[in-house]
Chains A and B, each alone.
Chain A
């Protein structure tokens, strides 16, 4: 690294905070997925290792190459999707779907058709599906009142206070306070948490049409619209005119490599990206790429000690993870719901998509996210799409009569 002179403490701190926020919030969703899949701590360690390594390698590589703070992470809405699909979906099927999704995104990346595909998807439908997937997590926060009232109320208050006082570090403080509350109120013990090196576990992929339709396709959709789209938008509003092509391509190549160890699709970060691309990372825009590299380096550390992270989460009650995940997603739910309600011209189709996705109804072995898109697409085409050609034909035939 010849440009060590670009390194600065704020940039490294930004990278560190982004990693910490990712581990404090979005990782909780991944743990919920692990809980619903009923996997062993060793397997979970492999998953955390894989997603951390994927984020580390792609983030460092892209930031160095493009000289832009590219923060990568795992697909958070994708993990939310997993929670609803396990345990009916087997691990092998999930890995097969990861590979399929990565291959599809790779094709999109290499051919440079990202921007064109994004324009094809009605924005309301995409946001509505995201909101539908995330909705259950938000509701879950309040549903846990029945089982762990004190913990839930304490964490909700902590979230509100920190969100108000230090919005940037909110999730980190919430994790700290939440762990404290879980220990005091629920009698969770952290004694077993020790430093542990991770060892990845190989999972043989398996391809089924349930996995492809139920996970791979929605995964591609939410990764494109829920991660790549806002992630690229954050980069561009921060003044980086980076093309999407190299980022999408590198992220999907990393996804292919980590998939067999349980690493869900690597994507450009949306929740944490702004931390590293903003002024707080460095006043000089050209030196913020260091934050992207630092972010990757801290992911390397996190991945190496994935076992410790897993121990921390598994020694805490499941309700704690549910509340943490839900609160971490409040912002994402709000932005997706207001995004689709703002698209007035196809609002009804969006609401139908939202309802169908949020219903959690599964049919023919396919989850509600798939059906949400299907029903939403039908509703969009039937209710809102302009058939310019057909209308003209109808009028012509009416006139003939």
Chain B
């Protein structure tokens, strides 16, 4: 356990939580939580596209919120850092695609192995070295590209909702400029709700339901491991952790427990495998929201992540109800709120990517991640890192001078 970073402690966490509570981190936590809840839509659409059973999709999403939420309560509270936990979205898409081929049990078995690999990687302490081999501008280029694709996909449907979009965005700008105290995002949300109240939103016909995660015993097959387990392990170790850690570091936090995030994510993924869920890991977009300046003072932003986790756990059993609510709310509302929330993250990601060193590698990483390409069934975020580092080694070899330093301090 010597590679697992020490955190503050859980003992005083509840008291400190109340002490550190403020408007900024509560609103950021809510935004991140709602953002995470809305990500369930991705599971629903991917599962439906893959022809999965609606009941399975429902317990999959419920597990996602419940299990990820529990880990999301513990991680930020122990480390006092904005480290919200969720699942891997690329992993979810792979998972939905592999189930019709190998079956649910075999897919979950592969998840279990991927989780074990991630746990071992974290315990062995390789994350620090992985993070140093992959320079920050390249990681941030990848993060920027992924978020950009996400952001652009959200902007596209706004062509049909230009009026509420304009109202909410203008409210955001004006609040950012003239109302120093109130978070601009809250103002934008209030403006949006006001518009919806005026335009009339039909919330009747939404049925209340309560669902809990279900236990399942995984199976192990080589096919499932090669087609899905191995890519998932690569995604968890090579992408989700660096993306999350990169974001938190990008926001100015010096000590980020990369090994612990990987190990806990691996352990969480192993637990997830018994409850119809494909993974547990640090959640990049939510991390972006919780760790951004929107969430207030840096040493109190961890509260936002805890709130996001709490929203997950509390929301999980009622998610059937939430799904209906999300479906009833016009799509543009979540799209704009999430887009505005991610704006600062994209800004800082781009600033870090193009701040001097590794610019060429960063640019390739950025473009590849934004292109969404797939090679060998592995998504663009992984290849963005690989090619970004390759290009940087080719053109910006001298920017890698710290590699030599790493060689002198092997336990870094």
Instruction: Tell me the nearest residue of chain A to B375, going by C-beta.
Output: A145
| B363 to chain A: closest residue by CB | A334
Indicate which residue in A341, A355, A378 contacts B155 across the interface (CB closer than 8 Å).
Answer: A355
Query: Is A363 positioned at the interface, with any CB of B under 8 Å from its CB?
Result: yes
| Set B151, B159, B395: member contacting A362, Cβ < 8 A | B159
How far is A238 from B158 in the complex, measured between Cα atoms in Å? 47
Surface stretch bound by A, among B124-132, B265-273, B279-287, B344-352:
B344-352
B367 x A347 contact (CB < 8 A): no
> Provided the pairs A355-B148, A358-B148, A361-B155 are in contact, do residues A139 and B354 lie with their beta carbons within 8 angstroms?
no
Extra 18 A-B pairs, beta carbons < 8 Å, given A145-B373, A160-B394, A334-B359: A139-B371, A141-B371, A142-B373, A164-B395, A333-B367, A337-B366, A338-B359, A342-B354, A344-B351, A348-B344, A348-B347, A351-B347, A351-B350, A355-B148, A360-B156, A361-B155, A379-B173, A382-B174
The 5 closest A-B pairs by CB, nearest first: A142-B371, A338-B354, A382-B173, A359-B155, A341-B354
> Is B370 close to A, CB under 8 A?
yes
B123 sits at the interface (CB 8 A): no
Interface residues of B in 319-369 (CB under 8 A from A): 343-344, 346-347, 350-351, 353-355, 359-360, 363, 366-368
Closest to A344 in B: B351
Q: What are 29 inter-chain pairs, A to B, with CB distance below 8 A?
A: A138-B363, A139-B367, A139-B370, A141-B367, A143-B372, A145-B373, A160-B391, A163-B395, A164-B394, A333-B363, A334-B360, A341-B353, A341-B354, A344-B351, A347-B347, A351-B346, A352-B343, A354-B350, A355-B148, A355-B152, A355-B155, A356-B155, A359-B152, A361-B159, A363-B159, A375-B169, A379-B173, A383-B173, A383-B177
Residues of B within 8 A of A361 (CB): 155-156, 158-159
B356, closest chain A residue (CB):
A338
Contact check, A143 vs B373: say whether CB atoms are below 8 A apart: yes
Give bound CA distance, A334 to B391, whole Å.
14
> With A142-B367, A337-B354, A338-B359 as given contacts, are A383 and B176 in contact (CB-CB < 8 Å)?
yes
Could you tell me the distance between the alpha carbons of A161 and B174 in the complex, rounded to whole angstroms?
49
Contacts of B176 in A (CB 8 A): 382-383
Q: Which residue of B lies closest to A330 (CB)?
A: B363
The CB with the most chain B CB atoms within 10 A, among A164, A355, A375, is that of A355
* Smallest CB gap from B360: residue in A: A334
Task: Verify A146–B155 contact, CB threshold 8 A.
Answer: no
Which A residues from 139 to 175 make CB contacts under 8 A with B?
Answer: 139-143, 145-146, 160, 163-164
CB contacts under 8 Å to B, within A368-388, are 375, 378-379, 382-383
B292 CB–A CB distance under 8 Å: no
Interface size on B, residues (CB 8 A): 39
Chain A residues with CB under 8 A of B353: 341
For A164, what are the chain B residues with a Cβ–Cβ distance below 8 Å? 394-395
Beyond A341-B350, A363-B162, whether A138 also contacts B359 by CB under 8 A is: no
Assembled-state Cα–Cα distance A351/B354 (Å)? 13
Is B380 among interface residues, defined by CB-CB distance under 8 A?
Answer: yes
Query: In the assembled complex, which residues on chain B have CB atoms less than 8 Å from the CB atom of A140?
Result: 371
Q: Which residues of B contact A334 (CB under 8 A)?
A: 354, 359-360, 363
B residues near A356, Cβ cutoff 8 Å: 155
Nearest residue in A to B173 (C-beta to C-beta)? A382
CA distance A360 to B368 in the complex (A): 18
Residues of B within 8 A of A351 (CB): 343, 346-347, 350
Residue contact B173 to A142, C-beta cutoff 8 Å: no
Enumerate chain A residues within 8 angstroms of B169, measured Cβ to Cβ.
375
Q: Please, how many angstroms separate the alpha-carbon atoms of A356 and B165 in the complex? A: 13
Residues in B136-194 with C-beta less than 8 Å from chain A: 148, 151-152, 155-156, 158-159, 162, 169-170, 173-174, 176-177
Give chain B interface residues in 25-51, CB to chain A under 8 Å.
none
Question: Which chain B residues border A359 with CB–CB below 8 Å?
Answer: 152, 155-156
Report chain A residues within 8 Å CB of B394: 160, 164
Minimum Cβ distance to chain A for residue B346 (Å): 6
Q: Give the complex CA separation of A135 and B363 in angstroms.
A: 10
Name the residue of chain B whose CB is nearest to the CB of A375: B169
Q: What residue of chain B has the Cβ atom nearest to residue A341's Cβ?
A: B354
> Which of chain B's residues has its CB closest to A152's CB?
B373
Is B343 a contact partner of A337 (Cβ separation < 8 A)? no
Minimum CB distance partner of B141 in chain A: A337
- Of chain A, the residue at the smallest CB distance from B176 is A383
Contact A347 B173 (CB under 8 A): no
A334 to B367, CA, bound (A): 10
Nearest B residue to A146 via CB reads B373
Within 8 A of A (CB), among B198-239: none
**In the complex, how many angstroms separate the beta carbon of A384 from the nearest chain B beta carbon?**
9
A140 to B367 alpha-carbon distance, docked (Å): 9
B152:A358 contact, CB within 8 angstroms:
yes
Please give the distance in Å from B148's CB to the nearest CB on chain A.
7
**If A348-B343, A351-B347 touch, does A341 touch B375 (CB 8 Å cutoff)?**
no
Give the distance to chain B from A90, nearest Cβ to Cβ, in Å.
22
Q: Render B362-406 as a binary contact track against A, CB cut-off 8 A, 1 for contact.
A: 010011101111110000100000000001001100000000000
